[in-house]
Structure 1
Amino acid sequence: MTRRPALPLLALCAALAGPAKAQDAAIVGFAQQLLTELQGRSFADNREYCGTIGIASDGQLVASRARRGRRDGCRPSRLPRGARPLASFHTHAAYDPAADSELPSPQDLESDMSEGIDGFVATPGGRLWFNDSVMGTTRLICGPYCLPADPAFGDGAWGYPAPFYTLQGLSDRLLPGANEVGPPPSDR
């Protein structure tokens, strides 16, 4: 279990008098740290690693123990007793040119939506994505190499991802011809 004080998050929650959102900088930083630590193991094992980020009753961010999954799926461990879940997190295993793994899959986003929590996804190219479970969207937090990247990674094999997708947009990427390889987006 990983713990980190969430004082800025508590102040924000108190000011808004509502539930915390995973977009808060403290949670993004916490997720980025967790996924940075998992990337190397994920590449070496060619498996996804996953878990859940929550907030403990004392206001600290906590994470479940990272669990080793399959090449294309993972079931997270439970949070410590009394912690409230805020977001999922998982890696996307090692680079595979035959897999469109540089963004969340439709199933990744659907899973977060069905659980009612947001999510963070790390890719073999070192991208970090945020799944918004309420809006049914995913957005790029940071581009290639902002997290450790698989040394075998080759950017652009499936085209260059846009910085934002709806659930339908993710599904559309799976259609034949949807990923024509072209130059990287100019917003990088």
Structure 2
Amino acid sequence: MRATGARRATGLLGAALLVLAALLAPPAAVAQSPEEIRFAKAFLNALQERSFARNREYCGYFGLTAEGRLAATRPRRGQADSCTLRWSGQIRIFASYHTHGAFDPGHFNEFPSSADIESDRDEGIDGYVATPGGRLWFIDGERAVARLICGPGCLKQDPGFIPGLDGAIPEVLSLGQVRRWESGN
């Protein structure tokens, strides 16, 4: 998986189109179990400060052990706007995970990128993304849709985070919507 941040689009047209697209969004992804969400939230929350301090994405996989317990692969350090996953074979994988590094006002940091959604879709798994603003997203890989699990501040926030730079962010984003936002259309 290669997660990349996109350069911020300028102008109100892109934001207006995104709001319109949100009104036409596909149905939300199927809810995950409360146990899975608690696990993902706790695990990614623990990675946030390291991700901010080093301005690097950290990534890996969530899965189940042979005994059926939730587990995660060891976090792999990526670049400022990407992280390449490697499967360890020790767990039965059901989702990827990654942080989005430190806040950068020149990038879309607060929602999954099109590459995030595409890579989960292509691998046939779901995904979890933690943002510098403390948001937690779930990516339904099959539907190519990202759903906000919890908003700003539900995870640790980068001290440099500036709320509102990306405008109003819908709670559900399709791959097509994210592509349009990234391209400024």
TM-score, normalised on structure 2? 0.81
Q: Do residues 72 (structure 1) and 96 (structure 2) align?
A: no
The answer as to whether partners of 1:66 and 1:77 remain within 8 angstroms in 2 is no
Deviation at 1:135, TM superposition (A): 1.2
Deviations 1:141-179 (A, max 9, x none): 000000000011001112121111111011111133x5x
The one-letter code sitting in structure 1 at the alignment partner of 2:52 is F
Q: What is the rounded CA distance, in whole Å, between the counterparts of 2:40 and 2:31 in structure 1? A: 9
The residue number in structure 1 matching 2:99 is 91
Deviation at 1:22, TM superposition (A): 7.8
Deviations 1:74-114 (A, max 9, x none): 12343452x21011110000000000110000000000000
Q: Do residues 160 (structure 1) and 172 (structure 2) align?
A: no
Q: Do residues 54 (structure 1) and 63 (structure 2) align?
A: yes
The residue number in structure 2 matching 1:29 is 38
Q: Which runs of 5+ in 2 are unaligned?
A: 1-29
Q: Secondary structure at the match of 2:183?
A: coil
Q: Do residues 149 (structure 1) and 152 (structure 2) align?
A: no
Report the RMSD for the aligned CA atoms in angstroms.
Answer: 1.4
Q: Which runs of 5+ in 1 are unaligned?
A: 1-20, 179-188
Q: Secondary structure at the match of 1:108?
A: helix
Equivalent of 1:41, from 50, 59, 66? 50
Q: Secondary structure at the match of 1:100?
A: coil
Task: State the 4+ residue runs in structure 1 displaced beyond 6 angstroms.
Answer: none
The one-letter code sitting in structure 1 at the alignment partner of 2:79 is R
- The percent of aligned pairs where both chains have the same amino acid is 47
Deviations 1:15-49 (A, max 9, x none): xxxxxx88122111111111000000000000000
Residues matched between the structures, number:
156
Q: What is the rounded CA distance, in whole Å, between the counterparts of 1:113 and 1:22 in structure 2? A: 17
Instruction: Give the direction of change, closer, same or farther, for the CA distance of 1:60–1:22 in structure 2 (3 Å limit).
Output: farther
Q: What is the rounded CA distance, in whole Å, between the counterparts of 2:85 and 2:38 in structure 1? A: 20
TM-score, normalised on structure 1? 0.79
Q: Do residues 130 (structure 1) and 144 (structure 2) align?
A: no
Deviation at 1:60, TM superposition (A): 0.8
Answer with 1 or 2: which has the greater Rg. Answer: 1
